[in-house]
Structure 1
Amino acid sequence: MKWIKVVFKNVFLTGTLLCSLMIITVLVSIQMWQSTEEGRLPAKTAVVLHAVNNNLVDLDVDISVPEIVSGGDGNESYLIKNEMTIPLEDNEEIPVRIYRPRGEGPFPITLYYHGGAFMKGYGGLETHDNIIRSIASKTGNVVIAPAYRLAPEHIFPAAVEDSYKALLWAENHAEMLGGDKDMISVMGDSAGGNIATVVSQMARDRKGPDLAAQVLFYPITTFQEIPLSSRETYDSGYYLLSKSIMYQARESYTPQQTMWAHPYTSPLQAKNLHDLPPALIITAEFDPLRDEGESYAKRLHEAGVPVHVTRYRGVMHGFVSFYEVMQSGRSGMEEAVVFLKDIQNGSVNQSEEFIVHVENQPQGWKRMRDQTEAFAIAVYLLGRTGTEMIAEEYSFN
Structure 2
Amino acid sequence: MKRKIFSASFKIAIGFCIILSSFVSGWATTSEGDLPSKTAVILHAINNQLVIPDEQLTPPSFLTGSNASGGTAFEHESLQIPVSDGTVLPGRMHRPADAENAPIIVYYHGGAFMEGYGNIHTHDNIVRALAYRSNAIVISVGYRLAPEHVFPKAVDDSYDALLWTYEQAEELGGSKEKMVVAGDSAGGNLATVTAMKARNEGGPDLTAQLLYYPLTTFHDRPLETRDKYAGGNYLLSKTVMEKARDSYTPGEEMWENPYVSPLDEGVGEDLPPAFIATAEFDPLRDEGELYAHKLHEEEVPVEAIRYEGVMHGFLSFYEVLATGRHALDDSVAFLDRTLKDKQVAGAGFRIIEREQPTGFERLREETEAHVGAVYLLGLHAQRQFDQWVETSLLADSEEE
Instruction: Give the shorter-chain TM-score range.
Output: over 0.9
Contact 2:338–2:344 under 8 Å retained in 1: no
Contact 1:116–1:191 under 8 Å retained in 2: yes
Task: Give yes or no for the alignment of 1:277 onto 2:272.
Answer: yes
Give, in angstroms, the shift of residue 74 of structure 1: 3.3
Give, in angstroms, the shift of residue 26 of structure 1: 1.2
Contact 1:76–1:134 under 8 Å retained in 2: no
Give, in angstroms, the shift of residue 58 of structure 1: 3.6
Aligned residue type for 2:150: I
Contact 2:289–2:304 under 8 Å retained in 1: yes
Aligned partner of 1:84 in structure 2 is 79
Alignment of 1:230-379 (within 5 A): 230-379=225-374
Aligned partner of 1:389 in structure 2 is 384
Which residue of 88, 96, 102 corresponds with 1:101? 96
Q: Which secondary structure state, in structure 1, belongs to the residue aligned with residue 122 of structure 2?
A: coil
- What TM-score, normalized by structure 2, do the two folds share? 0.93
C-alpha distance 179-305 of structure 1, shift in aligned 2 (>3 A): same
C-alpha distance 181-62 of structure 1, shift in aligned 2 (>3 A): closer
Aligned partner of 2:396 in structure 1 is none
C-alpha distance 104-283 of structure 1, shift in aligned 2 (>3 A): closer
| Equivalent-residue separation in structure 1 for 2:358 and 2:12 (angstroms) | 32
Aligned partner of 1:53 in structure 2 is 47
| Equivalent-residue separation in structure 2 for 1:153 and 1:135 (angstroms) | 30
- CA displacement 1:19-53 (0-9 Å, x = unmatched): 33432221110110111001111111111111111
Aligned residue type for 2:129: S
| Equivalent-residue separation in structure 2 for 1:77 and 1:11 (angstroms) | 52
| Equivalent-residue separation in structure 2 for 1:209 and 1:105 (angstroms) | 19
Which residue of 54, 59, 62 corresponds with 1:63? 59
| Equivalent-residue separation in structure 1 for 2:334 and 2:217 (angstroms) | 25
Aligned residue type for 1:354: F
Aligned residue type for 2:178: M
Aligned residue type for 1:125: I
Aligned partner of 1:29 in structure 2 is 23
Q: Unaligned regions of 5+ residues in structure 2, if any?
A: 393-400
| Equivalent-residue separation in structure 2 for 1:192 and 1:136 (angstroms) | 17
Task: Give yes or no for the alignment of 1:20 onto 2:20.
Answer: no
Give, in angstroms, the shift of residue 324 of structure 1: 0.8
Give the aligned CA root-mean-square deviation in angstroms.
1.9
Q: Which secondary structure state, in structure 2, belongs to the residue aligned with residue 175 of structure 1?
A: helix
- CA displacement 1:110-148 (0-9 Å, x = unmatched): 011000000000011111111110001111000000100
| Equivalent-residue separation in structure 2 for 1:327 and 1:9 (angstroms) | 41
Which residue of 112, 115, 131 corresponds with 1:136? 131
Contact 2:319–2:325 under 8 Å retained in 1: yes
Contact 1:235–1:241 under 8 Å retained in 2: yes
Aligned partner of 1:206 in structure 2 is 201
| Equivalent-residue separation in structure 2 for 1:366 and 1:11 (angstroms) | 35
Which residue of 155, 170, 177 corresponds with 2:172? 177
- CA displacement 1:63-89 (0-9 Å, x = unmatched): 3655x7623223477110111111234
Aligned residue type for 1:63: P
Which residue of 151, 160, 167 corresponds with 1:156? 151
- What TM-score, normalized by structure 1, do the two folds share? 0.94
Which residue of 28, 37, 41 corresponds with 1:43? 37
| Equivalent-residue separation in structure 1 for 2:65 and 2:384 (angstroms) | 28
- CA displacement 1:142-196 (0-9 Å, x = unmatched): 0000100000000000001100001001001111211111101011000000000
C-alpha distance 90-109 of structure 1, shift in aligned 2 (>3 A): closer
Equivalenced residue count is: 390
| Equivalent-residue separation in structure 2 for 1:148 and 1:138 (angstroms) | 25
| Equivalent-residue separation in structure 2 for 1:253 and 1:175 (angstroms) | 34
Identical-pair percentage:
46
Q: Which secondary structure state, in structure 1, belongs to the residue aligned with residue 170 of structure 2?
A: coil
Give, in angstroms, the shift of residue 348 of structure 1: 3.1
Contact 1:124–1:147 under 8 Å retained in 2: yes
Contact 1:113–1:195 under 8 Å retained in 2: yes
Moved more, 156-165 or 97-106: 97-106
| Equivalent-residue separation in structure 2 for 1:238 and 1:271 (angstroms) | 31
Give, in angstroms, the shift of residue 345 of structure 1: 1.3
| Equivalent-residue separation in structure 1 for 2:213 and 2:179 (angstroms) | 21
Give, in angstroms, the shift of residue 351 of structure 1: 3.3
Moved more, 283-292 or 100-109: 100-109
Q: Which secondary structure state, in structure 2, belongs to the residue aligned with residue 105 of structure 1?
A: coil
Q: Which secondary structure state, in structure 2, belongs to the residue aligned with residue 131 of structure 1?
A: helix
Contact 1:286–1:314 under 8 Å retained in 2: yes
| Equivalent-residue separation in structure 1 for 2:345 and 2:34 (angstroms) | 35
Contact 1:84–1:96 under 8 Å retained in 2: yes
C-alpha distance 26-333 of structure 1, shift in aligned 2 (>3 A): same
Give, in angstroms, the shift of residue 379 of structure 1: 1.0
Give, in angstroms, the shift of residue 352 of structure 1: 3.3
| Equivalent-residue separation in structure 1 for 2:139 and 2:198 (angstroms) | 17
Give, in angstroms, the shift of residue 17 of structure 1: 5.0
Give, in angstroms, the shift of residue 381 of structure 1: 0.9
Q: Which secondary structure state, in structure 2, belongs to the residue aligned with residue 212 of structure 1?
A: strand
Q: Unaligned regions of 5+ residues in structure 1, if any?
A: none
